[in-house]
Structure 1
């Protein structure tokens, strides 16, 4: 196998703005789930009500993008040139994600009252253990609804070393090719799923199979392409970065409006293209954020977001379980979120889930 070590670019210094991007993406997902699980009531804030419905979709796309971004830099630092390198790469990824992931499974199974310890439930347990639960609708969100993304992400890890070389040689062409693959797979797959499922099941199945590795491939490759562009030449123009950031946010707003009119999980143009376009907008936004060199006027907020970013994985793993339990079993949360102070209730529920994730990170992560 060709050795890449000598051709690898110097390691790119960690950019705190990317960590801020990660923290904001996390907050979008947590806020979306807090809103949905407490009743999806309008907040009374026009812009918020028009966009919050899509925060989860945008946040997950951003996470996939960041996975590609991070994995590309990891492979640049330690190229995979042999089977031993490949095993080492996968082992390092496993060590990073396994403790928090498996702990959440154990806790849910322990508190489930034995409902998973049956012939049907064992399929959920085994599929989660081996990160293939995202393939089957019955297993997709059966133990922890947030974990379906981990199956897709781990499957990306398996093929990332193969994707690294073409992205390294031609990042923009690789990104365009991944968009073409993703869209074509959806065009082939979605009408067949819709025709075989009833109206109620169709949207759920299209959500599940529209966010598998092949149907989200461009999310990951776009992140890798951004990492490669930064590695080749990190732009430092403040004005261009600001314009790029503003254009990305405006484009995301337009895509949210398009989704509200046309729908997402359907065999339509919006169903085929929306997530790919979001990934491209986020890639441009991430590149602009990476280039931003301005100083923060809110240093306390910046430090708080950076701390959240450091604990992002644990917060993501646990947040949905905490929010669901509060929404289902706490009468005061139900009363608060159904009254005039529902926005306060959503923020409070989200904050409790974040605090729980921070505690879980402290317990499990090495110091």
Structure 2
């Protein structure tokens, strides 16, 4: 066990990334709303492939990598350095449930009820959303709350983590050297990353499954690679400790290279392009590199662009990002159907600005009225996962990532 001091790895910069990605997601969905397909072809709201590549750059893999990184840290420290501060499985799941379910269930019931005014309605859609199984339904995967297909993957990751995390800790106890423990953990993460890549390769090249078969390419068997990259990041940073921390120039160069790679991947993401087939595994690696260049930096020489990530307006958006993620799509569709948004493609920038402003307002109210009180339920259990006999003033658990 090392005596190297452990720096804070729940960086404020991650909250900034979360806010930036949440705002990007809202603009992307407005972009999709104003995208027109007809007999003459596709017509984006702004006819610029360079801007289109920037707006359509998918950030869902960033959320997966960040979420897995934060939730894996305690397991990585326990496995590599013996600092077992991991919570019991029931307590871990209880805390995740209090973080996710109150707002999610409320939103699903409300939106589903408004779209199914007469019973029984599409009861299967409701059941699948409440059980997080809609990601396996080709027809209903984007019903009710379209973006929440990714929550099904989060749930699958939680189950995976509480299965492989304790197993890795037990296996590492039998290894004599720290290097061997790091190698074991890193190898496990690599295997979890390569398994979805193999699935995608077989589905696309051997079986010929079209990319529009959502359960095949959006299910956990195809998208676990993003979480595996985040787990590997946690293992790497715990293994390194204070060693090899980068200065401003190297950190900036690493982040810029990763950002350029992500942009290029988005720009060349055509369904007929091979890059498109492996878009998400490749994006996960690039987000891994970007976060590494952000987190493994000397605290005395932070790059100037960190100031943007730490800015109050961006971290504020990160704070309410889960509520923004839940509400922005039904809010956008309601405004569009009510005529509150312009219909012409030329008005896309104004529509995007309006939806972002309205979405942040609704998300802020939702956070303090529903999400924050729900997170306080985590205080009903002590550190060993047992119900408390007395209930002191609880504090909310820090958000791991936008869900």
Q: Could you report, residue by residue, the CA deviation over 1:132-178 in whole angstroms, capped at 9, with x for unpaired residues?
A: 22111233122211111111111110111233365973354344323
Greater displacement, 124-133 / 276-285: 124-133
Verify the 8 A CA contact 1:12 1:231 in the aligned structure 2.
Answer: no
| Aligned equivalent of 1:91 | 94
TM-score by length of 2: 0.75
- Which of 26, 29, 34 is matched with 1:30 structurally? 26
Tell me the matched-pair count.
343
| Aligned equivalent of 1:182 | 196
In structure 2, relative to structure 1, the CA distance for the partners of 1:51 and 1:116 (3 Å cut) is farther
Rounded Cα–Cα distance in structure 1 between residues aligned with 2:3 and 2:330: 45
Rounded Cα–Cα distance in structure 2 between residues aligned with 1:300 and 1:11: 18
| Aligned equivalent of 2:104 | 101
Q: Report deviation, 1:97.
A: 0.3
Rounded Cα–Cα distance in structure 2 between residues aligned with 1:300 and 1:249: 15
Listed as ranges, the gaps of 5+ residues in structure 2 are 37-43, 170-180, 374-395, 397-403
| Aligned equivalent of 1:199 | none
Listed as ranges, the gaps of 5+ residues in structure 1 are 196-201, 264-268
Rounded Cα–Cα distance in structure 2 between residues aligned with 1:85 and 1:297: 35
Rounded Cα–Cα distance in structure 2 between residues aligned with 1:321 and 1:64: 23
Rounded Cα–Cα distance in structure 2 between residues aligned with 1:224 and 1:8: 21
Task: Tell me which structure has the larger Cα radius of gyration.
Answer: 2
SS of the residue 1:143 aligns to? coil
Structure (1 or 2) with the greater helix fraction: 1
Match status 1:247 vs 2:257: yes
TM-score by length of 1: 0.82
| Aligned equivalent of 1:334 | 342
Asked which structure has the greater RCO (Cα within 8 Å, sep 6+), the reply is 2
Rounded Cα–Cα distance in structure 1 between residues aligned with 2:125 and 2:307: 45
Match status 1:319 vs 2:319: no
- Which of 220, 225, 229 is matched with 2:232 structurally? 225
Q: Could you report, residue by residue, the CA deviation over 1:254-305 in whole angstroms, capped at 9, with x for unpaired residues?
A: 2123213744xxxxx3344221111000000011111351356966981101
Rounded Cα–Cα distance in structure 2 between residues aligned with 1:11 and 1:99: 33
Verify the 8 A CA contact 1:183 1:215 in the aligned structure 2.
Answer: yes
Verify the 8 A CA contact 2:196 2:224 in the aligned structure 1.
Answer: yes
| Aligned equivalent of 2:286 | 281
Rounded Cα–Cα distance in structure 2 between residues aligned with 1:91 and 1:11: 27
Match status 1:154 vs 2:155: yes
RMSD over aligned Cα, in angstroms? 3.3
SS of the residue 2:278 aligns to? helix
1:112-151 to structure 2, matched below 5 A, reads: 112-114=115-117, 117-118=120-121, 121-151=122-152
| Aligned equivalent of 1:169 | 182
